[in-house]
Amino acid sequence: MNTAVAGERQHYWDTLRALLMLLGIPYHVALSYRPGETWIVRSNEGWAPFPQIAEFIHLFRMPAFFLIAGYFAALLLSRRAPALWLKQRFVRLGIPFITSILVLVPIMNLACEFSNLPYSKALSSFLWNSSHSGGYWVRHLWFIIVLLYLSTMMAALSGVIPRLRTGYIAEGFDRLCARHILPALLVLGLVIGLWRAGVLEAFYIAGLNTNLLQQILRLDELILFAPWFLLGFLFQRAPATLKSFTRVSLPMVVLAAVFTVLAFRVAPDLHPATGRLLSTFAILTLTQVVIAAAHYWMDRPSMLVSRFVDAAFVIYLFHMPIITILVWLGQDVPVPTAVKGIGVMAITLALSWGAWLVIARVRLLAWLFNGTEPTLGRHAAGLTTGLARSQNKTKAPALLS
């Protein structure tokens, strides 16, 4: 077993996970203000750069998030019994999921309907969609469903194959991949790309993109993101490869730029399966650049980061209802669209943060919306508490623990 990095502190994972969650705000605001396009909420205006901003964020945000989730799944399964870990996952994610479906999603859907239709028709549309469309209820919570699928699968496999809990990649193979990280990633990109191209296309050809299988159970998203989760799991068990993967590399930056341009300019004109294959190389190289940058610049303890890590899940749950309400109410506000969009981002972050400040103080709300005990008290003690927390080694962010 290779345990070369078992004791190293890796604060950048916390920071990056929080940033990926917070990027949901500019991503969904950008979707709301695309020229000539209507998202779930109607803005009646657009700004030319917003579609590209949304596409760029979308390219790497969730693959990187699931990679981090897989990394911490491997880490925590090496420390906890699979059944206990899975139970904690369902409490941590499942309770906020149910609460958000019952409380936040209806508010968001009403705002979307009111932005598109007169009030009387909006209410009728809300009632009809609520009773006929599974995706209408899931909305931005889909990733929780997929995380629970993947957590259940990994816990079950770890129970059946105990070596998965503690076993590492063979040291020789790990070092080989580390020495040749660029070709290793290109081969990996081909494998993942063929999976994304072939399996997802088979899903569509088989007619499985139905209200139940796609909109509610989100099996297509499971197909898309399972490889990234598995990759994160394997990285945690291959310390030499992980060290190379998290190192800033100029050739990787160049490749990421080239593949990203191809994903933007070429992939949309290809067959969807071929486009997914090509874009996989952009996703993988861009994810490497983002993680390496986080490792280089963010691998240090920070009180501010600690707060955002604690707040990120609640901010994510609340940001979509807030965005849809602000976009709807801002339809006739006479300011430039770019200014309006940036304003919606800032107000959304502030209000979501405010929601967390309340939730983090109230036990019932903390359980309902965060799946935890109240957390704000930890920070009230000031710097001492923050520094004590920073001493934890390779600590999993709250959402991933």
- DSSP symbols for 97-116: HHHHHHHHHHHHHHHHHHHH
**Domain ranges within the chain, ordered by starting residue:** 12-400
Torsion, Cα of 112, 31, 141, 77 (10° steps): -170
What is residue 246's DSSP assignment?
T
What is residue 399's DSSP assignment?
G
For 301-339, the pLDDT digits (tens) are 888 888 999 999 999 999 999 999 999 999 999 999 999
For 179-231, the pLDDT digits (tens) are 999 999 999 999 999 999 999 999 999 999 999 999 999 999 999 999 999 99
Structure tokens at 306: 């600690």
Model pLDDT, residue 375: 80
Q: CA 371, CA 364: separation in Å to the nearest integer?
A: 10
Whole-model pTM: value is 0.92
Structure tokens at 26: 């500019």
